[in-house]
Amino acid sequence: MSLVFPFSAIVGQDEMKRALLLCAVDPRIGGVLVLGDRGTGKSTAVRALAALLPPMNAVVGCPYGCDPKSSNPCEQCRSRRTAGNTLPKSAKIPVPVVDLPLGATEDRVVGSLDLERALTKGEKAFEPGLLGRANRGFLYIDEVNLLEDHLVDVLLDVAASGENVVEREGISVRHPARFVLIGSGNPEEGELRPQLLDRFGLSVEVRTPTELKSRVDVVRRRDAFERDPAGFVEQWRKTDAKVRRQIDAGRNQLESVQVSDSALEQGARLCIALGTDGLRGELTLLRTARALAAFEGASQVEDSHLQRIAVSALRHRLRRNPLDESGSDIRVERAMSEVFA
C-alpha cells in the first residue's frame, strides 16, 4: 500500500478531524457526512484516519474480522465456538477502512457467489462483499451524492441494522456488518437525497481556508509530501502516534465517562429548542459529547463538550425546511446560546 498523507499534517478543518476521531472512539455515533468545497482534504482525511487507527483484535481466518469476545459473531465463528468449546485464535489486525468505489456493482457490495470456486469447482460458496469486509471498521464513499440510488438504499439499510442479509438462488447468508459510514461530497455537484442526510450521526461542513497562512501551509505540506512521501510521513509519525494513543485511551475510558442528569437535560432542551424530529438527535448529541469527553480524558460530560459538538450533531436534523439549509449552523448556535445562557 502506498503511503498516505498523515492525519496530523492536515491543515485546519478541525471540525472534520474531530468528527472522524470521535467516530473512531465510539463507532455508535453513526458515521460522518462530510460536505464541502473542492480540494478541502475530505478524502485525504479519511484515508489518513485509516493509517492512524490502533489495530484491533480479530479471529484469525474470519472473513468478517469478528471480535473473539463478541457476543454477536458471524455464523462461522459462532459454530466454531459452540462446537470447539475453545476460542479460536485471534490476532491484531488493522481496522478495515473500505473504499466503496463509484461504479461498484451490487453483488460486490453485499457479497455474492464466489466466482472462482463456482466456475472451477462448481461449488456454491458465498464470497463476502465490501460490507462484510468493512465489519468493525469504516466504509468510505467519496462523492456519496453520485452513488446510484439502489446502492445507497442497501447501504443505509445495512448500516442501520448492523447486519447484511443475502438471499439469492441457493445462497442464504447473514453476517454482521457494523461499520462507521463515512460519506463525502460536494452538494453543488449533485444533490444529496434528503433521506440520506439524517442517517449520518454527524455532519460536518468543510470550507477552503480563507487566511493566506493556512492556504500556504496546505500547499507547502502537500508539495513536501509529494516530493518525499516517506520522509514527510516520518516527520509526522510522532504526532500521529500521539493521536493514536489518545484514541486508544478514549476508547478505554468511554464507558466510565459520567453523563450527569443536567447534561441530559441540556441536550434535551437544545433539541426541543431546535425542534428536531425524534430522539436520534439527542442520542447522537450525548454519545458524541461523551466520546469527546473520553477523548480529552475528562471524567464526565460538561456543557463545553456538548457545545463543541452540537453543531455537527444537529445541523442536518433541523426541521425540514429546505430554505434554511445554509442557516442551520446559525440556528443551532442561537439555540445553544439560549440553552447554555
Partner 1 sequence: MIDPRWQQALGAAALFAVDPSGLGGVVVRAAPGPVRDAWLEALTELLEPGTPIRRIPPQVPDSRLLGGLDLTATLHAGRPVAERGLLAEADGGLVLVPMAERMGTGTAGRLAAVLDAGEVRVEREGIASCWPARIAVIALDEGLETEDRPPIVLMDRLALWIDLEGISPRHLDPGPWDASVVAQARAAQATFETQVSDGDTSDAIEALCRVAEAIGVDSPRPVIAALRAARAAAALEGRSELAEDDVALAARLILGPRATRIPPSAESPESSELSEPPESSEPTESLASAESSGDASPPPPWDPGQPDSSEAKRSDPDPGDPDPGDPDQAPDSIDDGKPLAEVVLEAVRSALPPGLLAQATDSRQTRSRASAQQRSGRVGAVRTDPRRGRPDGTVRGDPRRGPRLDLVATLRAAVPWQRLRRREGSSMLVEVRTNDFRVVRRVQRATTTTIFVVDASGSSALNRLAEAKGAVELLLAECYVRRDRVALVAFHGQNAELVLPPTRSLVRARRSLAGLPGGGGTPLASGLDVGGAVADTVRRQGDSPLLVVLTDGRANIGRDRQPGRPRAEADALLAAQHWRAEGYAALLVDTSPRSHPAAQALALAMGARFLPLPYADSSVLSGAVKATVSGTLGAERPRHAHAQVRV
Binding site for partner 1 (CB under 8 A): 37-40, 43, 99-109, 112-113, 115-116, 118-124, 127, 129-130, 142-143, 146, 148, 150, 168-170, 186-191, 207-208, 210, 212, 215-216, 218-220, 222-223, 226-228, 321-323, 325-326
84 or 122: CB nearest partner 1:
122
- Spot the catalytic one: 81, 280, 315, 331: 280
104 or 273: CB nearest partner 1:
104
Task: Name the grid cell of 217.
Answer: 501551509
Q: How far is the CB of 115 from partner 1 (least distance, A)?
A: 4
Residue 183 · residue 136 · CB < 8 Å:
no
Q: How far is the CB of 66 from partner 1 (least distance, A)?
A: 21
Residue 251 · residue 294 · CB < 8 Å:
yes
Task: Judge whether 199 counts as a catalytic residue.
Answer: no
Cα 261 to chain center, whole Å? 28
Q: How far is the CB of 318 from partner 1 (least distance, A)?
A: 14
Task: Name the grid cell of 197.
Answer: 442526510
Q: What is the dihedral of CA 154, 157, 159, 160, to 10 degrees?
A: 170
Q: For the chain, how are helix, strand and coil distributed in percent, rounded to 5?
A: 50, 15, 35
Please state, in angstroms and rounded to a whole number, the distance separating the CA atoms of residues 230 and 110.
36
Q: How far is the CB of 194 from partner 1 (least distance, A)?
A: 9
Task: Name the grid cell of 28.
Answer: 455508535
* DSSP H or E run through 195: helix 194-197
DSSP result, 10-70: S-S-HHHHHHHHHHHH-GGG--EEEEE-TTSSHHHHHHHHHHHSPPEEEETT-TT---TT-
Q: How far is the CB of 148 from partner 1 (least distance, A)?
A: 6
128 or 250: CB nearest partner 1:
128
Q: How far is the CB of 166 from partner 1 (least distance, A)?
A: 13
To which residue does cell 472512539 refer?
25
According to DSSP, residue 300 is labeled: B
217 or 303: CB nearest partner 1:
217
Catalytic residue IDs: 280
